[in-house]
Structure 1
Amino acid sequence: MIVSFIVFEYEDIQDAVLVAHSYGGMVASGAMEHIADRVRRIVFFDAHLPRTGESHCDMVGPARATKHVAMAEEGGEGWYIPTSDASWYGVTDPDDAAWVNSHTTAQPLKTYQDPVGNTDRAWSHSGMFIECVPSTLEPHALDRVRKRHADDPEFQYRVLHATHDAMVTAPEAVTKLLLEAVDIV
């Protein structure tokens, strides 16, 4: 998160559309406390949108959180979660899967367990949520975002019939939605 707002500050980024994918929603939500004045719109692209003090484990629920711990114990020396094959995210083309797999890295388990700081500015900012169907997000995590859409005319909710890694499997559809996010007034 620190890197996010340092880049915004030192590159003097203004009027940005910040796109957060998957776990990146945790980071972007926290970063918004520092960079919201420089962000025109935030897009949560099949991403977590935590409330203040929630962790990734809170977002995915106890069963999946326990699975993350087991994955770290079994293949990550107890402290990191090994990468998942791109097929888990719906990437089926062998060339695309090879490309995705060559660009993924393990993630420290603690990043899933530590709570995010204040996220009030992420929740009150103009934005869009793109749910990929089928989504890898837990249904209860999406319920709050859907409610926000219903309660907040500045926050758009879109459904994209594509895999979680739609930027790889359906790039044209993703581009169309991101362009829509830029033009929302």
Structure 2
Amino acid sequence: MPTTFVLVHGAWHSGQAWSRVVPLLGASGSRVFAPTLTGYGETRHLLGPDVGLGTHVADVVRLLVDEDLSDVVLVGHSYAGMVISGVANQVPERIARLVYLDAMVPADGESALDVLPVSRNMIGDDWRVPAPPAPFGLFGLTDAADIAWLNTMVSDQSALCLREPVAMDNPALGQIPRTHVHCTVKPPGVEPRPVPAVQPNGDPADVRELPTGHDCMITMPAELAGLLLDVASRTPVRAGAGR
């Protein structure tokens, strides 16, 4: 059975950020969805102070339900680690694996500000939080063409995205296997949270590395696609999952 991937972009980006990875996964026969979350990219006109983490969780849950997706490998990059955690809390029966791609990994009730305290420095008096200029932010891009391309898609986000806590209180969430992918080229002071040796479901931790900066879907798309396909091949179909 083909794998279904749902790729969720991080803050300031859009679904377009995955455009180098999507065809590589699709070539394997996989179904691939890369939605743009409300308020970013082509939906930036919808951004407002009331757009927050809950909005983005609802975006992805709606996609899963409307497309009737099950046994999904749900990938969240950066801020979207918050998003996929909230999604899996609401519809765990549809998720085969969570992949935290250089992502925030929260606990129940935490916000992005709790997970990455340095992000507090990004919030000013306005409700808008502009993207840090590439390559000086967390994106890790160095190629001029990549930077120019990224700058065509980046847009502001709402501070509520960083302040709103995530709910992770569904016991079924803990049964979903997790993979953590760390990009090893990082600016000083930005380090991932340590990954516990044992996952909530009792499996050993699954931690992978990519020797690149934060936006690995741009800098190492082939390597990332290969990694995701390997992860999917090791993910059993969940009995009774989906519809």
Q: TM-score range by the shorter chain?
A: 0.7 to 0.9
Equivalent position to 1:134, from 185, 188, 192: 185
Alpha-carbon contact 1:132-1:164 (below 8 Å) kept: yes
TM-score, length of structure 2 as denominator length: 0.66
- Counterpart amino acid of 2:91? I
Deviation at 1:155, TM superposition (A): 4.2
Distance 1:108 1:148, change over 3 A: farther
2:193 is paired with a residue whose SS is helix
Given that 1:32 and 1:119 are in contact with CA atoms closer than 8 Å, whether structure 2 keeps it comes out as no
Q: State the alpha-carbon separation in 1 of the partners of residues 61 and 72 from structure 2.
A: 12
Q: Could you tell me how far 1:154 is from its partner in structure 2?
A: 5.5
Alpha-carbon separation, structure 1, partners of 2:115 and 2:78:
12
Distance in 2 of aligned mates of 1:109 and 1:43: 25
Aligned to 2:211: 161
What does the per-residue CA deviation read over 1:129-170, in whole Å, with 9 as the maximum and x for residues that have no partner? 10100246843x521x24445994264111111110011011
Code of the aligned partner of 2:115: M
Conserved? CA contact 2:197–2:205, under 8 Å: no
Structure 2 residues without counterparts, runs of 5 or longer: 1-56, 236-243
The answer as to whether partners of 1:59 and 1:138 remain within 8 angstroms in 2 is no
Contact 1:53 1:118 in 2 (8 A): yes
Q: Distance in 2 between matches of 1:29 and 1:8?
A: 14
For structure 1, the 5+ residue unaligned runs are none
Question: In the alignment, does 2:90 pair up with 1:34?
Answer: yes
Residue 124 (structure 1) shift: 3.7
Measure, in 1, the Cα distance between the counterparts of 2:198 and 2:186. Answer: 18
Aligned to 1:174: 224
* Conservation of the 8 A alpha-carbon contact between 2:174 and 2:200: no
Looking at secondary structure, tell me which structure has more helix per residue.
1
Correspondence for 1:18: 74
The share of aligned pairs that are identical, in percent, is 28
Deviation at 1:90, TM superposition (A): 1.2
Question: Does the residue aligned with 1:179 lie in a helix, a strand or coil?
Answer: helix
4+ aligned runs moved over 6 Å, structure 1? none
Query: What is the deviation of 1:183?
Result: 0.9
- Following TM superposition, by how much is the alpha carbon of 1:98 offset from its aligned partner in structure 2, in angstroms? 1.0
Following the alignment from structure 1 to structure 2, what is the Cα–Cα distance between the partners of residues 150 and 123?
A: 5
CA RMSD of aligned residues (A): 2.2
Aligned-pair CA distance for 1:35: 2.1
The alignment of Structure 1 onto Structure 2 pairs a total of residues equal to: 175
- Counterpart amino acid of residue 213 in structure 2: T
Query: Taking structure 1 as the reference length, what is the TM-score of the superposition?
Result: 0.85
